[in-house]
Amino acid sequence: MVLLTGLLAALTLASSATAAVCTPRPKTYEAEDAVLSGTTVATAQAGFTGTGYVTGFDEGSDKITFTIPSASTRLYDLTIRVAAIYGEKRTTVILNGGAASEVYFPSSTTWADISAGQVLLNEGDNTLEIVNNWGWYLIDSITVAASAPRPAHNINADLVNPNADANAKTLYSYLRSIYGKKILSGQQELSWANWIAQQTGKTPALVSVDLIDYSPSRVERGTVGTAVEEAITHHNRGGIVSVLWHWNAPTGLYDTEENKWWSGFYTRATDFDAQAALADTTNANYTLLIRDIDAIAVQLKRLQAAGVPVLWRPLHEAEGAWFWWGAKGPETAKKLWGVLYKRLVEHHGINNLIWVWNSILPEWYPGDDTVDIVSADVYAQGNGPMSTQYNQLIELGQDKKLIAATEVGAAPLPDLLQAYQTHWLWFAVWGDSFINNQEWNSLATLNTIYNHDYVLTLDEIQGWQNLN
């Protein structure tokens, strides 16, 4: 913690002196000149720079290690020149043996320069590792260029639903008031939020619950949801509520030994075809989609009646395609989002929802008129600032939408968030095997985060409902 505080102070000093010193020029480092571990230099793919490129990312430990000198502690933009000729991929970037970040490489047939977020270089030599992750890509070089100061945000003043109720409007106003100044602490599941209170003496400001067990194809097999009660409990103690929905497919569950019925939200566990279901409004599977949405509307209306404004995050991680609502590509997912919005808002009159979109790639974005907040789910170890995803979401929402880290494996360290100017509105750590896993979140780290001035906890947000 002392080291991080020192870095933040050094960065502040460096920033204040910017006018008095020259901005460092961009610098490119060739991959073939770096230290290779399990990887090799090749020349078969035309168009590389330098004397070759690096390939052979096929084992978990395969990596390249660059050494990058810096004259001062400073924030830099990182660009990776890559050829993802085997399809879309993801890599892991680790700076100075610390926080990891995940970088997405879109499929390509040639070389492309991919923005990889930012890196806070220390004065002196720094190490930057590119580690396998999905593997099967080619790395030509990296480039670091001094980051420009982040401009002021220009967040939309109003919610997309013109009939949003007073509770939703009050919450949105509060969120706008803290954006860029503080981050809301958050946790998936009420029980784990209470566990954090036992470990740190602080309760998360936000609790995320899942409507999964209200899905009709689960209810008919005996599930009984408790998420609504948990959400109301947290709301009644002055907290903020986020809601997602692992939507078990309406029908077509394989229910095999490999893919049980309760995993029916996964693409691998169902033959439900969202594209075919949305082809017209008269087919049986479209009727089942509406049946499911109506079942969830019942639960959302319970929250509305209890005065609970909801950060509503359906169809999450659609771009990953591992859930059936993303399996047929962006056009189908966007169409389903539109059906959800129209059914819940216009048909059911549910006006306590703040609509949270949860994919980063521009081709998946359903449009500004049905999205209040853009977000990402990030699972990378090291408690880093997740600058890659934050910067992508700034671009996606044109800095007019609030930005949230709606699911994380590792809670971010606040000093790094401030140093990188990654103004996430909230973070929410996933439950069992992440929040209680020392490799992802040590108790010392959780105590540092939950007792930091930049991080808002339940006791510190009391009275937000009275903002207006």
Show which residues are catalytic. Answer: 317, 407
User: Which H or E run includes 284?
Assistant: helix 284-305
Q: How far apart are CA 355 and CA 24, in angstroms?
A: 41
Q: How far apart are CA 65 and CA 23, in angstroms?
A: 25
How many Cβ atoms are within 10 Å of 95's Cβ, its own excluded? Answer: 21
Q: What is the 3-state secondary structure (H, E, C) of 198-219?
A: HHHCCCECEEEEECHHHCHHHH
Q: How many CA atoms lie within 13 A of 290 on its CB side?
A: 14
Closest CA to 126 of 139, 142, 140, 112: 142
Which CA distances in Å does 277 have to 26, 191, 339, 353, 363?
50, 37, 12, 25, 21
Token pair for residue 43? 């020349």
Instruction: Map residue 10 onto helix, strand or coil.
Output: helix
Phi, psi at 120, each rounded to 5° = -95, 100
**DSSP code of 270?**
B
Q: Looking at this protein, which amino acid is placed at residue 205?
A: A
